Amino acid sequence: MTQQRRRIDIVLGPEYLDGLDSLPDDDVQAMHEECMELETEVSYVRRLAQARIEILNAERERRATGGSVADLIAALPRILADPGPRPDPAASRLSHHLAPAPSIQWTRGREPLIVDDTLANLPTLTNEQLEATLTELGELEREVSQRRRALHGVIDGIEAELARRRVNA
């Protein structure tokens, strides 16, 4: 039985950009659109993982300082405010897709960590379970970030081809 490859696996495959310069404009544009959809999905999964990591780190801190669950809940707006560094505007990408497709498929590997009931059960997790979940989420975030960087490389290749065609038109 063969396993169906996910779109992200196909797009990041070494043959995806083969013959790009000989494809019709509409095909290259469709490839770009597909990559931008995937970039939105990958970024969404990454941010969900990061948010969970931030909440679990706050839970770890709450336990260490003896705070209450109510303290953690009250701190959620601050925890999720994301004051982190932003990329240089010239290096950032504005996606046409502001939300992932409802059919987003992230079912292999650690991705279920972003949709499980861990957050609902925080007070009942043991410290060992909390640490194990943090470790797995950190690994997921790193994996997704690597895929996102690789996807940006594919997008750059397609955008370079589209720019070349505009110059030569």
Quote the percentage of the chain above a pLDDT of 70.
79
**Stronger pLDDT, 119 or 64, i.e. the higher one:** 64
Residues 71 and 59: their CA atoms lie apart, in Å, by 10
Q: Range with the lowest mean pLDDT among 3-7, 14-18, 92-96? A: 92-96
> Is the model's pLDDT at 100 over the cut of 80?
no
- pLDDT-derived band at 103, boundaries 50, 70, 90: low
- pTM attached to this predicted model: 0.80
Comparing CA positions, the residue from 19, 21, 27 lying closest to residue 165 is 21
Residues 155 and 141: their CA atoms lie apart, in Å, by 21
Tell me the mean pLDDT in the region 152-166: 97
pLDDT at 1: 43
For residue range 127-151, what is the model confidence (pLDDT) as tens digits? 999 999 999 999 989 999 999 999 9
**Residue 127 backbone dihedrals phi, psi, to 5 degrees:** -60, -35
CB 38 within 8 A of CB 8: yes
Ramachandran area for residue 136 (φ above 0: left; ψ -120 to 50: alpha; else beta): alpha
pLDDT at 151: 97
> Is the model's pLDDT at 96 over the cut of 50?
yes
> Is the model's pLDDT at 46 over the cut of 60?
yes
**Stronger pLDDT, 82 or 21, i.e. the higher one:** 21
